[in-house]
Chains A and B, each alone.
Chain A
C-alpha cells in the first residue's frame, strides 16, 4: 500500500503528461508537489519500515535522502513552469519531459529505498535511461550529441556497477544464498564472507562505476558538457536527485566494505577523491560559464561527501550532502535568469534586477554562491569542519598521522583555489559589466525561496540531531 502511495504521484504525472491542454502544466507541477505527502508520512513512521518485503525497506538514511530529493523535485517543477520563457521548447517536448520525469522518479524511489543490490541497480538504470530523453528536449546538435554521449558513457558506468554487484553477490552467495543481494544481511554477515578479495574487487568496480556517473576522475568533464548542452532544469535534477541516488548506493556498499576491510576501502577512496578534487579545482579555475562552474563544483562536493563518509564522519557527510542537494539545483535553476544575456556573460549577471522580486533574486543567488564555498553560516562550513576533524581523528588511530595532516593541508589549498575563483566570479557578477535588465518570474523565485528555507532547516538543532542518529 505504501509503495502504491509513493508511486501514485509519478503515475498521475505520467498520465497528465498526455493531456494536450496548456493548463495541464500547472497540474504537472502540482503532481510533483504531492510526491512530498507519502514521503513525509514515511518519514514519521518507525524505522526500519518494510515497504515491500525485504526488498524495499525505509530506514532513516533513505527517508532523509528521499525527503531531500522530493524537495528538490518540487523546486525543479516550479522552475519548469517558466522554462518556455527562457528557452525554446515545444509543448510536445515539454510534456514528454514530464513523462520521463515520472519514470525517473519511479526509478529513484526504487534505488533509494532498495535493500537489495539488484533492485538498486535496476532503479538506477531506469533513472539513468529516463534522463537521456530529458537531455534531448533541447533540440540543438550539441544536446543531441551529449544525449548519445550520456547514453553510452552512462551505460558503461552502470555496467561496471552491475559487474561489481555480480562479483559481490558471488562472494557472499555461499553463506547467504539468494539473500546475498540484501544490504542488511551483507552488513551483518560481512565478517563471514570467505572470499573477501572477490568482494573487494566487486566493490572497487561498483565504486568506480558510481564515481564515473558522478563525474569523478578520469571522467571529470563529461557531466559538465552534458549539463551545459541540456536545459538548466536537467542539470538541477542531475545534481540534486540523480547524484543522491548514486551516493546513497555508495553509502550502502561502503558499509559492507568497511566491515570487511576498512583500511583497503579508506586508502582506495581517499586517493581517488583527492585526485578528483585536485583535477576539478583547476578545471573550476578555468571555467568560463555558470553551468560548467556549478557542475564541476558539484563533483568537488560529491568527492568531499564520499571522503567524509569513509573518514568516519557520516554526520558531516550527510549534512554536506543535504546542503549540496539544495544549493546546487538552486544555482542551476538561477542560471536560466543569470544567462539571459548570453552564456559567457558572467560580468554583470547579478545586475539589472528591479523591484522586490529582483532584489530578493540577487540576494538569494549571492547567498547560494557564498554558501557553496562554505562561508559561515552555510551548513557546508559546519560539515567541512566536522569532516576534516574526523579525518584527523581517524589518522590518530593509525600510523599515518603526518600523511593525513599533509593530505588535509593539500585539500585546503585546493579548496582555496575554488574559493578564490568563486569569489572572483561573484565580484564580477555584482560589480563589473553593464547593467542589462533581466526578466524574472515568480515561480522560479518561489523555487529559490523553497531551497533557501530547506537550507536553513538543515541548521535546526532537531535536524542536526536527526542526522546524528542516522550516523
Chain B
C-alpha cells in the first residue's frame, strides 16, 4: 500500500508539471499532500511512531485541505492569472521528467546503500525535489512558483519520513509553523500586488 501511495505522490507531481490551469495545479498539489499524509500515517503505523502519525494528520489537514483552500481564496481575492502556461514545451518536458528520474536514481545509488529502510523511497523523494524545482522554473507567474515551493517542501518531508523514519516532533511542528508564516507573508505580498499578478 505504501508503494502505491509513493507512486501516486510522484505521479501527482509529474502531472502538475504539465498543468496549464491554476486551480487544477492546486488540485494536484492537494493530492500530492494527501498522499504524503497517508504515507506518513502508513509508515507511522508500520513502525509504531505516534509522532509520525500526528504529523501525518497535520499534513492532511493543513497541506491537503488548508493551504490549497487558502491559495484558491487568494487567487479569487487578488484576481490572479489562472492560465499558467509552462515555459518548457510539453515535448521537452516529456523527455526531461524521465531523465530526472533516471539521473536521481543513479545519483542516489551510493546513498541508498547506506539507508537500509525504504531505500528506493529516498531516491523518489530526491527526484521529487528536482521535479519541484522544475515546476518553479518553468512558470513565469508567481502562483505556480509558490506551489512549486510547497511541492519542494513536500519532497523534503517525504525524505524526512523515508530516510530518517521521521524527524523529531519538534522539528516537524516547527516546519509547519514556518509554512503557515510563509502563507501570511504571501498574503501580504499579494495584497500589495493586487490585480497586477
Q: Which residues in A have some Cβ–Cβ distance to B below 8 Å? A: 55, 103, 118-119, 121-122, 125-126, 129-130, 132-133, 136, 139, 144, 147-148, 151-152, 155-156, 159, 162-163, 166-167, 169-171, 173, 178, 181, 194-195, 197-198, 201
Contacts and interface: CB of A to CB of B under 8 A. Distances in A.
A159 B182 CA distance: 13
Interface stretch (B6-14, B75-83, B151-159): B151-159
A119 B170 contact: yes
A181 B168 CA distance: 9
A122 B178 contact: yes
Given A122-B171, A163-B156, A201 B185 contact: no
B145 interface: yes
Contacts of B114: 171, 194-195, 197-198
B149 interface: yes
Given A159-B152, A170-B164, A119 B185 contact: no
Nearest to A163: B156
B106 interface: no
B123 to A, nearest CB: 13
Interface string B166-197: 01101100110110011001101100110000
B163 interface: yes
A130 B192 CA distance: 16
A181 B171 contact: yes
Contacts of A126: 177-178, 181
Contacts of A170: 115, 163-164
Contacts of B168: 118, 178, 181
A136 B191 CA distance: 11
Contacts of A144: 189, 192-193
Given A122-B175, A122-B177, A171-B114, A166 B188 contact: no
A103 B177 CA distance: 13
Interface residues of B, number: 34
B49 to A, nearest CB: 11
Given A133-B188, A136-B189, A195-B114, A163 B129 contact: yes
B133 A156 contact: yes
B160 interface: yes
B136 interface: yes
A102 to B, nearest CB: 13
B142 interface: yes
8 contacts: A132-B189, A133-B189, A152-B136, A169-B164, A173-B164, A197-B114, A198-B114, A201-B111
A148 B181 contact: no
Given A118-B171, A132-B189, A169-B164, A125 B129 contact: no
Contacts of A121: 171, 174
Contacts of B192: 136, 139, 144
B188 A136 contact: yes
Contacts of B178: 122, 125-126, 129
Contacts of A181: 167-168, 171
A45 B136 CA distance: 47
B180 to A, nearest CB: 10
A147 B175 contact: no
Contacts of B175: 122, 125, 162
A30 B186 CA distance: 30
Contacts of B136: 152, 156
Nearest to A159: B152
A198 B114 CA distance: 8
Contacts of A169: 164, 167
B189 A163 contact: no
Residue of B110, B153, B167, B175 most packed against chain A (CB within 10 A)? B167
A85 to B, nearest CB: 23
A166 B167 CA distance: 8
Contacts of B174: 118-119, 121-122
